[in-house]
Structure 1
Amino acid sequence: MVKLIHMLVIFCFLFPTISNAAPTDSTVKVAYIKDGYLWINDKGLDKKVTDQKSNYPYPPQWSFDGKMLLYQKEVRATINESQGTENELWVYDLQTKKHRKIFYDGHDPKWSPTESIVAFQSDGVLNISDLTSFYNIALGVDDYEWQPNGKGFIASSSASLRPDGWTHPILYTISLKGGYQNISDLTKHVKKFLVIPKELKKNDVKIPSINAQSFAYSPNNKWISFIVSPTASFSMDSDMLCVISAEGKEFTVLDEVILEFQPKWSFKDSLLGYIAGGGRIVFGFKDKDLKVTELPAYHTLTLTPKNYADMGFTWVNDRSLIVSRVKETDWSNDPKKRPKPTLYFVTLDSQKQIQITIPSKDQGDYNPQFLPSINKITWVRQIDIASTKGDLWVAELNGENAQIWIQDIGPYSFYPSK
């Protein structure tokens, strides 16, 4: 009885207000793919915004002000006299209800954080589209991210294989202070930022450094996290999470990770959450530990209990997270025998870990995402980790008032998401 009272006190402290989960009066909009079409859910109403059934392989992206949607459409095309596919980039204007194709074959598009322009890549060239024309920005780019002020990029070039071995991957800063429309020399506004060592090591694990990707800035913009990967097949099993100070003076390898689970910064403090551990999931649901590292102290907490593995997480605030968790289990080729995750609420200060969802035995809870604007947790409940769609759920932070928001949803995104 004492333990039960203690747990109730914890919940009252962590969740001081409880209200009905009501997506119908929500200020959050959801853009999503379903049945081969792009949809928008706004105030509980679903609207199909594309008329042509197609393959939309990536989540749609909201512009910084929520007035436009960027989406990618895979189409059949003749390339060098043979049949292949192209990745068209489109923008949908919610006010005019008009669609506009901004490029015929691009990848990795990203909205500016401050204005309605889109950066994207094509054949190693970084470009910017103002939704009418596009402009070349830099050459030889492997991956990139907008700087938080929208005035430039952090970018990488991959290592190259030469007769004497691999070169180094290199990080660059790319400035747009002179304007992106008037760049005549694609090198003058580019500055070398970091030459990554040819090999990275953490504990007993070493990898060759080939690519640098998944850049993310800390809330105070003083740190940049990114992932260094080896060659393509090896990158499925072992990569290195790194951080570098924004001025480029301090570089550190934090931990071994896999690309499937992306690190995430907390809302205000320089706290980096990530799921540590190598080995692709088909080798087993094992050695996947949720960790939080505080910078610049480099103090790390491991939050996953023994005999469990974590499959995804979201920050709730700077002292608590919600994680999708399973018991450690070997991989099975039978989807019914694979473990089904549930959601747990985890705190940094007391390391209390409370299960907040109970799916049926044949479903699991994946991809938790906290929405600060409505103070609720969302997730996808689906049959298996390999499923491409499921039901989007929403609930209070303690799991109460859980209900389905959208059924049979594919890739999706929220506005606002922060």
Structure 2
Amino acid sequence: MRIWILLLLTFICFHFSSTASAEVPLTAVFIRDHQLWLKKDDQEIQLTKDRYVYGPKWSYDGRFIGFIDGDEKGEKSDLFIYDTKEKDSYQPYVRVVTSDFKWAPNKNQLAYTEQGLLNVTKTKNGRPQGFENVSLGVSGFEWFPNGQEFIVSSQSNLLPTGWSPIPLFRIPVDANLAKDKIKPFYTIQTEEPDLFGIDADYFKWSFDGKWVSFLVLPTASWSMDSNTLSVLSSQGKHFQAVGKMLGYQDWFQWAPSANQLAYISGEGRFFVENKNLTIAKIPIVKQQKEYTPKGFVDLDLEWFSEDLVIVARATENKEWKEGPVPTMFTSLYAINIRTGEQKQISFPEKDELDENPQVAGHYLTWFRKREGQTKGDVWVKNALNGQENMWLENVDYAPTFFTPE
């Protein structure tokens, strides 16, 4: 009898440990207590101390990690780079102050804006070091897929007759402020109320590089309630307004192998209603399709495959009108956009919510936290039918995975 009890206890302990921590072949950086950490497979390594880190981004080959060293008041935003080969953090120049930086898609070069000036790093001893000016008057930007040019927006001006159109430019990396190298790419003609905006940002390229999506952003207060998701062809010839949505850049994503955009459509800054997963085939030639059932809201998304989209879904709350904004207890659902089949795939406890779904290889990951808490744990499962396991414990927010192309 004692042997059976011992075996049962051993099984329970083994089962608990396997569900609490998973050995998964993934690599990610994450923030814990405001410090930068790296996890590869089952090993966690702290990379910074006594900093206030946010916004880490991998270089294309995974050697470097760019991040912002800030402070609790939001008054500081210094750009640092961690070198995983040399195992040290450094600044690419004496001091770089920025809140918007992006790695090139095919080389270890950083582009960043500082008070409207777009710069790129030079290279010294194989590391991004020093910088060169590219262009003035830059609001939003993104690399072209070739890694040799930028698409750049410049905020419109308020004239006596109203706001001017939003200009977009195509600028080579080596422009070095030379006006003759800076070419107009497209001008967004904004007309109230159908398409009103004063800026464009959050550029994302389709898988084949033939289209770029972005948000047309109105003035600050208006932007909290509605922005226009738009697309533009890679030659700057064909523009389409896709739909209205909130200004969350993770809420619109290109399909992994088709020119389809998934986005959370709907206006209104509160998450209690009118937030629907919508699929638009680009270019738009027929009506878009919504997949969120009546009585629910979808509050984040991620493509799992060409036909499967993962959403963070909650029951809508139309009864709420005032007072503290209610917590929307999301769990993850998988939607087959070809067959229309939908099923729940994560099952948080009553006071928990699952958010920030991410796909890394064959794995689905998400951030799980309790009501009223900001920190949480990262959970993972291998494929949609796999066993869910905790992968990271007590982190500030969802990690950033390195997924080599």
Alignment TM class, shorter chain as reference = 0.7 to 0.9
2:84 to 80, 94, 97: 94
CA drift at 1:387:
5.0
1:175 aligns with 2:165: no
Corresponding letter in the other structure for 1:240: T
SS in 2 for 1:233: helix
Distance 1:75 1:360, change over 3 A: closer
The residue aligned with 1:188 is 180
CA drift at 1:276:
0.4
Distance 1:416 1:196, change over 3 A: same
1:56 aligns with 2:57: no
CA contact (8 A) 2:70 2:77 kept: yes
The residue aligned with 1:292 is 279
The residue aligned with 1:36 is 34
SS in 2 for 1:106: coil
The residue aligned with 1:350 is 339
SS in 2 for 1:228: strand
1:198 aligns with 2:185: no
CA drift at 1:164:
3.1
- Distance of 2:264 and 2:296 partners within structure 1: 12
- Bigger drift between 387-396 and 304-313 goes to 387-396
CA contact (8 A) 1:89 1:106 kept: yes
CA drift at 1:51:
2.1
SS in 2 for 1:367: strand
The residue aligned with 2:255 is 266
SS in 2 for 1:286: coil
- Bigger drift between 99-108 and 119-128 goes to 99-108
1:47 aligns with 2:36: no
CA contact (8 A) 1:357 1:399 kept: no
> RMSD of the TM alignment (CA)?
2.2
The residue aligned with 1:129 is 121
Runs of 4+ in 1 over 6 A off after TM superposition: none
Distance 1:322 1:417, change over 3 A: farther
- Bigger drift between 127-136 and 295-304 goes to 295-304
CA drift at 1:160:
1.2
CA drift at 1:390:
1.4
- TM-score of the superposition, structure 1-length normalised? 0.85
- Distance of 2:221 and 2:393 partners within structure 1: 34
1:403 aligns with 2:389: yes
CA contact (8 A) 1:227 1:241 kept: yes
- Distance of 1:198 and 1:168 partners within structure 2: 6
SS in 1 for 2:251: coil
SS in 1 for 2:53: coil
Gaps of 5+ in 1: 1-19, 77-82
Seq. identity, %: 30
- TM-score of the superposition, structure 2-length normalised? 0.87
The residue aligned with 2:142 is 145
1:313 aligns with 2:301: yes
Gaps of 5+ in 2: 1-18, 123-127
- Distance of 2:385 and 2:329 partners within structure 1: 17
The residue aligned with 1:104 is 96
CA drift at 1:389:
2.5
Mapping of residues 318-337 of structure 1, within 5 Å: 318-330=306-318, 331=320, 333=323
SS in 1 for 2:23: helix
- Distance of 1:111 and 1:399 partners within structure 2: 34
1:359 aligns with 2:345: no
CA drift at 1:376:
1.3
1:304 aligns with 2:301: no
Number of matched pairs: 375
1:72 aligns with 2:60: no
CA drift at 1:353:
0.4
CA contact (8 A) 1:139 1:186 kept: no
Distance 1:290 1:200, change over 3 A: farther
The residue aligned with 2:203 is 215
